[in-house]
Amino acid sequence: MEDRLESAADVFRTLPGVIPQGFFNAWPEYFHSFADKVGQEPQMRRPRSGPRQISEAEEALLWLRWLERDDARIVWLRAERTPWKPICWEMGISRPAANRHWQYGLALITWRLNGRVPPLKRSRRFVVENANNLSRKIVL
């Protein structure tokens, strides 16, 4: 599941930016001659995402709707491989608290993907600890 979220972040990163209607560039296109390119390293580009990858990324993005706003933001920032320190600064919480929100968000997505809804009267710790045991019977 974490891999799907990370691949979704990668897919959205590779998509072209949104250009407003009527946007244009007045600068002429510059074509490099052979002499300009001599001695330069070739610039490799990542291939664009295909329709299947985009559909999977959109599906993974819909998973974030099951979370509270702050938890969804932390899960998405971690999927984009943002370091913990900027996340803590943005959210205004400590590193251990951010990690707990992230773990809870992933656990909640795991519960929902397995067709279960975590009990509202149980703690977040219960949800996180039992996310891996969903195939077995959970003692409520």
Q: How far apart are CA 14 and CA 22, in angstroms?
A: 23
pLDDT of residue 29 exceeding 50: yes
- 136 — pLDDT class (breaks 50, 70, 90): low
Contact status, residue 8 vs residue 61, Cβ threshold 8 Å:
yes
Alpha helix ranges (H) inside 64-94: 69-79, 84-91
Q: Compare 107 and 134 and report the one with higher pLDDT.
A: 107
Indicate the average pLDDT of the chain: 86
The set of residues, in sequence order, having a beta carbon less than 8 Å from that of 103 and lying 6+ positions away, is 128
Q: How far apart are CA 91 and CA 86, in angstroms?
A: 9
For 97-123, write each residue's pLDDT tens digit: 999 999 999 999 998 988 888 888 888
Q: What are the sequence ranges of the domains in the chain?
A: 1-11+58-132
Check the CA dihedral 67-104-113-111 and report its sign.
negative
Q: Compare 74 and 120 and report the one with higher pLDDT.
A: 74
